[in-house]
Amino acid sequence: MASSSKQDHEPGPSSRESSPGAASSVVDLSDHVSDGDLGEGMFAEGFAGPSKQIVKPLSTEELSAFKAAQEKAGVIYISRIPPGMRPTKVRHLMSAYGEIGRVYLQAEDPKRSFLRRKYTSTKKVHYTEGWVEFKDKRVARSVADMLNAQPIGGKKGTRWRDDVWTMKYLPKFKWNMLTEQIAHEAAVHAAQLRVELSQSRREQQEYLKNVELARVLDKRAERKRKAGGGDTVEERPAAKQKEEGSNAGVEPKQQRKRRKKEDLAPIPSDAKLESVLGSIF
């Protein structure tokens, strides 16, 4: 059933995610999230777990029971989080339908968040998607089927009364898969950033190299002009040198026309007769 408002504001990880060899103690996790629940790249403020964590060594029977509980748990994916809704509020709303394990909401893209804070009056963190773990997968499936495409509801005048849930049950999906997926996405994003930075660095070095080369060539040409040498063969445009090279060894156009006219000139009849008689005798 739904927990009290105090419990909703005390996020923390589940009660069985600790290492087996840890000392026995009870820790209030209102401002702390253990590394066992958050994978690499996960946003700490987007996590909300049970309010208390009991840390003690696990016996063989307890370890078996813990694994069975993990197998029994089910995860719901929420594709849209209403603006301004925080993990504790999602946990409070979902706990009305069954026992909740862990809740994680993904914060929006940093670039989008920067633009929103720059051009709007809302400065708080916005979340785009989330995952809710139920202790019983059957309850999770039923809740997803019941609440999907349904209004959030609540008392009249509440902020998210008319917002609509968009959720889906993830069969055979466990919480450790979520942490691995987010860690993989964070690693891929970091690799892309490294590649882009490396490419940008190479382009910058090439640009500076070309600028320096142009400066040296301009300085050399300026010294030659001051010396009064004028343009040399080396300084002539490459296109002009290429044109001159292509015309080398080609007879002038007028000579070609004159030769063509001489070849097409009519042969006298006497010359034709002599050529015919010469070919016969």
Token match 């916005």: residue? Answer: 126
* Beta-sheet strand order (sheet of 47-48): 47-48, 100-107, 127-134, 74-78, 167-170
Q: Taking the model in full, what pTM does it have?
A: 0.52
Superfamily of the domain at 5-173 = RRM (RNA recognition motif) domain (3.30.70.330)
> Which of 27-36, 171-180, 201-210: highest mean pLDDT?
201-210
Residue 72 Cα distances to 52, 133, 141, 171, 187, angstroms: 21, 11, 12, 11, 30
Angle at CA of residue 89, ends 86 and 92, nearest 5° = 150
Question: In the predicted model, is pLDDT for residue 260 greater than 50?
Answer: yes
Can you give the residue ranges of every domain in the chain?
5-173, 176-245
Answer left, alpha or beta for residue 157, where phi above 0 means left and psi between -120 and 50 means alpha. Answer: left
Return the percentage of the chain with pLDDT > 70, whole number.
Answer: 62
Least confident of 27-41, 74-88, 118-132: 27-41
Give the distance from CA 190 to its chain's centroid. Answer: 9
pLDDT at res. 170: 92
The whole-chain average pLDDT of the chain stands at: 75
pLDDT at res. 213: 94
- More confident call, 58 vs 3: 58
Angle at CA of residue 217, ends 213 and 219, nearest 5° = 115
Residue 90 near residue 132, CB atoms below 8 Å? yes
Least confident of 39-53, 71-85, 143-157, 214-228: 39-53
